Structure 1
């Protein structure tokens, strides 16, 4: 059974040897002579990191067109780096030059391969979506969505490359956390000073109809909640990773401010997402520290922490009436207008899937808007499927959905394997990895009932999680030797 799981998750795939023996190998490096003569070569990853940081610094505050330009620049830069790659790291891995046991300082600076099983699955998913685009009943509209997805996947490739450096990884995370803090502070200002809703986000017959739902610079409370889920996970990790007391105090402030702002979005999907993210975060943190704890605390730390967290949530629901009403609306079925809207959209999307089950209709909201009016119920227009699972099946069919689920399995498995290795050597960067895994679970949970995952502010974070987990990858044979 274990061998089947390792095969399914590509844990034992000799990826580097396969790449070196394939025609793909010849696509890498034709510009290496130019790169060797360039004075910017030694700053290649730093420049890439600056582009990534620019995306996260500006995404919440600028329009989507500018974000698209930045993503295109990131993609073009990754292509340039790939075409000029000299292959030295690949040859070292292939020849076993880096297989000797190393101390933690050397292990932290060792670069992982440029290609990982996660890259392979991303390529497979992109291929499935490309086929769906080519076979779409609305090809021009689907091509627009295909272009957007391609930009995000190129961004993932650059992120996975530059985040192999612990220093650049720390800077990217810091920039995102500072941007999220600014977003949350403005959200709290909206709560205390009041703000006008830009859309009807609450059932007008609900007791919460006059309650302020903060949306900060993002213009939508559900989108804001999706943006803050990773911010909370990473700010918790920062409390333990950052070393000075001033840094730890700043991280603690981030945890409080981001959590409060997310709560004040009154986004039920966001609340589901953060509960899942925090649950996974606590589980992984308990696992991380279990080797340092006495036997009693190894057994009871997790139940105590989870029980306390659950008690705080229940107490908040009992004491805070708006929170109690909002949570209760989750179980109101069609009695809540928001629930009723989503259910009607889901039913229409299922009918669309039945008519396009294998390859779907192609990616993107433009393709969706071309097909959905033919199936929608009266008065229930929508911009997307309001569920990531239905969205993927509709866009790429069963084939693409299978590739998507496979990508998730491989990514989570690779993240777990990397976490075990980092835990063994006591590398604190493993806490960033824990935050990335927890954020991924939280964003999936939120995406099951909402559509925010496809907005640039959140989608860039979605691929950041995949890229960060990929940046910790180490080939199986290197894992074994380093642990000897």
Structure 2
């Protein structure tokens, strides 16, 4: 019993604290790694105590193959200065995906994980709004880059659909949704806005979200935005001017980096340039267009993974995402309550759309959402077997 409680606390804490990484790093440079490390350790102990292995799933094969590609291309590029650093960043996400998929299918209720994800994002959104109130022109809060904050917020917002909405809890969910929308809007992230719009369309099309709820949430967020705009008109004007200037620069730099990533892939299609290789090779591949940039990213998850891990790594990433969608779709055919599966699908869509404009492979939402989708499928299989046996 105590082991189950501990797994629940650690799993929920891991997903809740993911968007608050910046706050944790202010406490200690390694503090963000404590809960995930504890979760992995307790999970391994639980496997030993129960004398079992995780139930086989195609997810395990894809993760294992992705690990093989990572290790192989890292061995080939071991002499490069950033290879080991970025390999160490990759591996924990592969492990935590397997862990979350297993514990969410057995010990940890899926809805608890979704609620924890939303809770962490709401705190991050509040932190972002406070940073704007404190003088920042764009919401940052717990994360240095406003676009990264928007990524977490738009990934969490669709998950509200899966939470209980009866009586007063419905009002609470609308308020939480308004905070997330306001926080995302305050980042002025265009990619985040497009991602959120696509996720909402998916929820409406799949009949998981009534249009009225979208209108009410937007209205509450709109009123809050009007109040804020009237109270900070000068700051808002400066923020819009800065964003307008940055937008043009971002469009140019993104095109340069996408072209550079494409050249890297074309020159190294089998094993890419290795983890961290984009950072190392960008100046040369980009023809010294941004020679002073110290930590460049491709601003596109898919192109960056393809450039660094080659075609095999890119294919495995696509297979990884496809497993999440297929698992959730199979679950939809078995369960009476469709909200969890559809909400995870919508959140995954938000993650994928946002990742066209951002390099977000080193943040948790992509990995945790696929793991939760697999867990939903496994739980639906158990429920189907129980219903059949009775």
TM-based fold match above 0.5: yes
Tell me the residue number matched to 2:3: 44
How far, CA to CA, are the matches of 1:253 and 1:281 in structure 2? 19
Deviation for aligned residue 1:75:
2.6
CA separation of 1:483/1:124 partners in 2, compared to 1, >3 Å: closer, same or farther? farther
Tell me the residue number matched to 2:310: 397
CA separation of 1:335/1:43 partners in 2, compared to 1, >3 Å: closer, same or farther? closer
- Partner SS for 1:78: helix
Could you say which structure has the larger radius of gyration?
Answer: 1
Deviation for aligned residue 1:478:
7.0
- Partner SS for 1:273: helix
CA separation of 1:274/1:155 partners in 2, compared to 1, >3 Å: closer, same or farther? same
Tell me the residue number matched to 1:7: none
How far, CA to CA, are the matches of 2:282 and 2:129 in structure 1? 37
Counterpart selection for 1:218 from 143, 149, 152: 143
CA separation of 1:190/1:271 partners in 2, compared to 1, >3 Å: closer, same or farther? same
- Partner SS for 2:348: helix
Residues 72-221 of structure 1 correspond to what in structure 2 (within 5 A)?
72-87=37-52, 114-136=55-77, 138=79, 141-165=82-106, 168-191=109-132, 193-196=133-136, 212-221=137-146
- Is 2:372 the partner of 1:468? yes
Kindly provide the CA deviation profile for residues 319-355 of structure 1, in whole angstroms up to 9, marking residues without a partner as x. 99989x97xx99x9x9911101111122222222222
Counterpart selection for 1:342 from 254, 263, 278: 254
- Is 2:353 the partner of 1:445? yes
Aligned length: 364
Q: Is the 8 A contact 2:272 2:308 kept in 1?
A: yes
When normalised by structure 1's length, the TM-score is 0.66
Tell me the residue number matched to 1:251: 173
- Partner SS for 1:120: helix
CA separation of 1:413/1:58 partners in 2, compared to 1, >3 Å: closer, same or farther? closer
- Name which of structure 1's ranges 472-481 and 44-53 shifts more when overlaid on structure 2: 472-481
CA separation of 1:190/1:475 partners in 2, compared to 1, >3 Å: closer, same or farther? closer
- Name which of structure 1's ranges 113-122 and 164-173 shifts more when overlaid on structure 2: 164-173
Where structure 2 has 5 or more consecutive residues not aligned to the other structure, the ranges are none
CA separation of 1:215/1:475 partners in 2, compared to 1, >3 Å: closer, same or farther? closer
- Partner SS for 1:217: coil
- Partner SS for 2:273: coil
Counterpart selection for 1:271 from 169, 179, 193: 193
Kindly provide the CA deviation profile for residues 259-294 of structure 1, in whole angstroms up to 9, marking residues without a partner as x. 11101110011112111221222222x1x69xxxxx
Cα RMSD for the two superposed structures: 3.5
Residues 415-434 of structure 1 correspond to what in structure 2 (within 5 A)?
415-422=328-335, 426-427=336-337, 430-434=338-342
Deviation for aligned residue 1:305:
7.8
Tell me the residue number matched to 1:55: 14
Q: Is the 8 A contact 1:137 1:361 kept in 2?
A: no
Tell me the residue number matched to 1:235: 160
Tell me the residue number matched to 2:205: 283
Q: Is the 8 A contact 1:138 1:361 kept in 2?
A: no
When normalised by structure 2's length, the TM-score is 0.81
CA separation of 1:250/1:72 partners in 2, compared to 1, >3 Å: closer, same or farther? same
Q: Is the 8 A contact 2:272 2:307 kept in 1?
A: yes
- Find runs of 4+ consecutive structure 1 residues off by over 4 angstroms: 304-309, 319-323, 475-484
- Partner SS for 2:142: helix
How far, CA to CA, are the matches of 2:127 and 2:320 in structure 1? 36
Tell me the residue number matched to 1:26: none
CA separation of 1:85/1:449 partners in 2, compared to 1, >3 Å: closer, same or farther? same
- Is 2:71 the partner of 1:71? no
Deviation for aligned residue 1:373:
2.8
How far, CA to CA, are the matches of 1:85 and 1:137 in structure 2? 38
Q: Is the 8 A contact 1:214 1:221 kept in 2?
A: yes
Tell me the residue number matched to 1:385: 298
CA separation of 1:404/1:75 partners in 2, compared to 1, >3 Å: closer, same or farther? same
How far, CA to CA, are the matches of 1:255 and 1:276 in structure 2? 16
How far, CA to CA, are the matches of 1:278 and 1:43 in structure 2? 39
Deviation for aligned residue 1:242:
4.2
CA separation of 1:476/1:435 partners in 2, compared to 1, >3 Å: closer, same or farther? closer
CA separation of 1:350/1:282 partners in 2, compared to 1, >3 Å: closer, same or farther? same
CA separation of 1:266/1:335 partners in 2, compared to 1, >3 Å: closer, same or farther? closer
CA separation of 1:279/1:166 partners in 2, compared to 1, >3 Å: closer, same or farther? farther
Deviation for aligned residue 1:167:
5.8
